[in-house]
Chain A
Amino acid sequence: MQDQTDKELLSLFRNPDHKSYAFNLIVRKYQERLYWHIRKIVIGHDDTDDLLQNTFLKAWKGLENFRGESQIYTWLYRIATNEALSFLKEKRKKFFLPLVDVEKELSSNLESDTYFNGDEIQLKLQKAILKLPEKQRLVFNMRYYDQMKYEDISQVLDTSVGALKASYHHAAKKIEDMLKNN
């Protein structure tokens, strides 16, 4: 199942008899990576679950028109990132929260999260990551945790590789400083 390439999955998806089967394979192939990506943005498991479902629902509707110019997984990452950022934006609007308060709320969610198993240093690291500007946080998570290539991150975030490299190094420096000063 894992060995099937994106091209094979796409051609299977375009066959009406195998559409659901192919989509199921795509979901199984990418669900975990996308889950962790969203989870690191919104922190809570329940929110992540909703957003992951929304991501795949959008993919189901859009995959028909997917022309295969990029890889499926960068395309899915893009949808997932947009879903997660829109969720945070909605949250800010709904509760009239400034950016800093959302970060505080996410930090406190982290502490009360039953599905957070990290030790003290990991908690501090996650809190430091939450203090980063939104884009740096995304770049840091995708590069450090998801180990994505800059070229792929570039496709997801629509930013040049050079800018991404700078962003990552700024983020890493800030986190190091935050942890040292803590």
Chain B
Amino acid sequence: MQKKNNIKFTEGGAKNNPFSVPDDYFETFSCRLQKRLQTEEAGLSPRERFWLVLRPQLALVAVIAGFAIIGYLGFHTFTSRDQGIAREEIAGYIDLYQNEFSDYYFLSMLDDDFYPDEEIYFDEYPADPDTYMDFLYLDEIAIELIISEF
């Protein structure tokens, strides 16, 4: 065995090919190749060739469209959520001004000194029309200025 293993790889030396092929492989190879060539060349109809060229491009367009849709939906979801919050906020204000806004609150907005206790806005003071009138007749209030501001 040792002797057998002692191979010297001189260039151009005799080489035994340990591989083999099925019977008539090389004799029939060119025929099989010709058949495959004919199949590859004539096997595809113009329509199939067209699709073969178009398919990867369509796939690319589909991927881009997919990303665009995902992007749009994501953007739309975020913005509509913001709008939802905004709507809730506005609804809250409407509710406040419609149901809970008191005359006192309005007066305190006109003049901070009128009711110095700013915490008490909502219907805790009796709604007395004379009080409002007295207040509005006060000389210190610059009505024109207030109107121009609001």
- Give A residues with C-beta under 8 Å from B: 20, 24, 27-28, 31-32, 35-36, 39-40, 45, 49, 52-53, 56-57, 60, 113, 115-119, 121-126, 143-145, 147, 168, 172, 175-176, 179-180, 182
Contact = CB atoms under 8 A, between A and B. Distances in A.
B33 A53 contact: yes
A121 B3 CA distance: 11
A172 B15 CA distance: 14
B21 A172 contact: no
A175 B40 CA distance: 42
B13 to A, nearest CB: 8
A6 to B, nearest CB: 18
Contacts of A118: 16, 18-19
A27 B20 contact: no
B47 interface: no
A48 to B, nearest CB: 9
Closest 10 CB pairs of A and B: A118-B18, A172-B9, A122-B18, A179-B5, A27-B30, A115-B20, A121-B4, A117-B20, A145-B15, A31-B29
Size class of B's contact patch?
Answer: 20 to 34
Contacts of B5: 121, 124, 179-180, 182
Nearest to B12: A147
11 contacts: A27-B33, A28-B30, A31-B26, A45-B22, A49-B25, A57-B36, A57-B37, A121-B4, A145-B15, A145-B17, A179-B6
B26 A32 contact: yes
Given A144-B9, A180-B5, A122 B16 contact: yes
A54 to B, nearest CB: 10
Given A36-B19, A145-B15, A147-B12, 6 more contacts: A45-B21, A117-B20, A126-B18, A143-B11, A175-B9, A179-B5
A136 to B, nearest CB: 12
A52 B19 contact: no
B45 interface: no
Nearest to B5: A179
A150 B70 CA distance: 58
Contacts of B19: 36, 39-40, 45, 113, 115-118
Given A31-B26, A35-B26, A117 B18 contact: yes
A115 B25 CA distance: 12
A24 B36 CA distance: 13
B24 to A, nearest CB: 13
A53 to B, nearest CB: 6
B80 interface: no
Contacts of A145: 15, 17
A15 B122 CA distance: 103
Contacts of A125: 7, 18
